């Protein structure tokens, strides 16, 4: 069983590596590239990488939260808060200093910074994910401390209330009264609740540690795959629906079932090294693509190789920066 857990954890790391690269492809190419394969990767990736990252994150967060260990909770929150605040602040300063030197006036710069730190937008839009992580992490910690013996039931009630608001149409009805930026940020909190609660619930039941038969696991994972995929059914090209659904289930199965596919120690070491910095890669890839190297033909090409270069540049920067700051809290900027 211990060996199975190691294999499952490795498979999750492989999945994180693939998904983090897929995010780079999606953000840096999107629909700009006419290559059918690249286009397929982009639209398929947009379906599964957000749900799976939320599932994985809150699955492993459950143990930290449920132990009620103050030091571990602080570490968990700092791992989210430090990059959430410092990266946008650094990039905001860089952007405004460069524009000041060029004599370009930037309107609403302080307002943009305020909203960026408050709701994860608009200056650096990819931090909506950290905003959701931080918001729900704080909510879960409060619930776990306030309802020590019944917190699972309270969370189910919260989930049912939010699902009712979403499915009844009340959530979009309320959000339409606010600006696009605010409604999008609040919407992210509400609409991602199913993935977040699923990860937390599976963590509370220690799904990975339990010895299910492979058949039962496949059934459970297939249901999750259909559930996750369903939200995008009406937004995607119907020609891709069947293939996307199959890929979704395969990826989920690959991450949670003990398929011992990679045995080479060098490859395993490489995968672990890359996945140590998926957070930093996520924080930096947008900046490299759209600001730092916005005049570079090498980076700006809407092709697969430009994404590989972007990914490697982020990884190298994070690797050496982590070495420099590994004994400080700033290490969380790169992992």
Write the DSSP string, 2-30. HHHHHHHHHHHHHHHHHHHHHHHHHHHTT
**Helices H, strands E: what count in the chain?**
15, 0
Q: Please, what is the end-to-end C-alpha distance for the chain in angstroms?
A: 29
Do residues 16 and 275 make contact, with C-beta atoms less than 8 angstroms apart? yes
* Residues whose CB falls within 8 Å of the CB of residue 304, separated by 6 or more in sequence, listed in order: 25, 29, 33, 35, 38
Q: Which residues of 272-282 are buried (b: 16+ CB within 10 A; e: fewer)?
A: eebbbbbbbbb
What is the Rg, in whole angstroms, of the alpha carbon atoms belonging to the chain?
A: 20
Q: How high is the pLDDT of residue 195?
A: 83
Label residue 305 left, alpha or beta by phi (over 0 means left) and psi (-120 to 50 means alpha).
alpha
Q: What's the pLDDT score for residue 122?
A: 80
pLDDT at 251: 63
Local structure of residue 34 (DSSP, 8 states):
-
Place of tokens 């919260």: 158
pTM as predicted: 0.87
Residues in the chain: 335
Reading the chain (335 residues) residue by residue, the pLDDT tens digits are 556 778 888 888 888 888 888 888 888 876 565 566 776 666 666 667 888 888 889 988 998 998 999 999 999 999 999 999 999 999 899 888 988 898 888 888 899 899 999 998 887 888 999 999 999 999 999 999 999 889 888 988 998 898 888 878 888 888 888 888 888 888 888 888 878 888 888 888 887 777 666 666 666 666 666 665 555 444 444 445 555 556 666 666 666 666 677 888 888 898 989 999 999 999 999 888 776 666 555 555 667 788 888 899 999 999 999 999 999 999 999 99
Helix axes 278-287, 2-28, angle to 10 degrees: 0
CA distances from 136 to 56, 124, 163, 171 (A): 14, 20, 15, 17
Q: Please report, for residues 132, 134, 192, 205, 298, the alpha-carbon distance to residue 196 in angstroms, rounded to integers and kept in the order given.
A: 9, 12, 6, 15, 37
Separation of alpha carbons 80 and 128, rounded Å: 12
Cα 127 from Cα 146, distance rounded (Å): 29
Q: Which residues, 6+ apart, have CB-to-CB distance to 97 below 8 Å?
A: none
What is the reported pLDDT for 312? 92
pLDDT at 248: 61
Token couple for 110? 């302080």
């Amino acid at each position: 069983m211990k060996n199975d857990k190691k294999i499952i954890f490795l498979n999750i790391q492989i999945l994180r590596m693939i998904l983090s690269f897929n995010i780079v492809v999606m953000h840096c190419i999107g629909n700009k590239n006419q290559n059918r394969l690249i286009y397929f990767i982009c639209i398929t990736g947009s379906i599964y990488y957000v749900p799976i990252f939320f599932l994985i994150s809150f699955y492993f967060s459950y143990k930290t939260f449920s132990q009620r260990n103050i030091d571990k909770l602080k570490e968990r929150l700092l791992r989210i808060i430090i990059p959430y605040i410092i990266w946008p602040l650094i990039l905001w300063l860089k952007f405004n200093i460069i524009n000041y030197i060029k004599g370009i006036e930037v309107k609403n710069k302080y307002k943009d910074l305020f909203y960026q730190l408050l709701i994860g937008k608009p200056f650096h839009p990819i931090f909506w994910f950290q905003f959701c992580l931080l918001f729900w992490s704080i909510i879960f910690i409060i619930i776990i401390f306030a309802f020590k013996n019944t917190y699972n039931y309270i969370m189910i009630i919260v989930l049912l209330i939010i699902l009712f608001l979403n499915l009844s149409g009340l959530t979009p009805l309320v959000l339409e009264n606010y600006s696009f930026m605010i409604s999008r940020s609040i919407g992210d909190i509400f609409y991602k609740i199913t993935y977040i609660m699923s990860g937390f619930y599976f963590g509370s039941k220690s799904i990975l540690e339990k010895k299910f038969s492979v058949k039962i696991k496949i059934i459970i994972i297939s249901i999750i795959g259909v559930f996750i995929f369903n939200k995008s059914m009406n937004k995607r090209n119907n020609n891709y629906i069947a293939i996307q659904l199959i890929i979704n289930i395969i990826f989920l199965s690959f991450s949670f079932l003990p398929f011992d596919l990679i045995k080479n120690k060098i490859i395993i070491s490489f995968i672990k090294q890359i996945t140590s910095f998926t957070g930093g890669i996520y924080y930096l890839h947008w900046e490299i693509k759209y600001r730092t190297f916005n005049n570079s033909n090498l980076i700006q090409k809407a092709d697969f190789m430009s994404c590989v270069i972007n990914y490697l540049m982020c990884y190298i920067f994070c690797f050496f920066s982590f070495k420099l700051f590994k004994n400080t809290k700033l290490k969380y900027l790169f992992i």
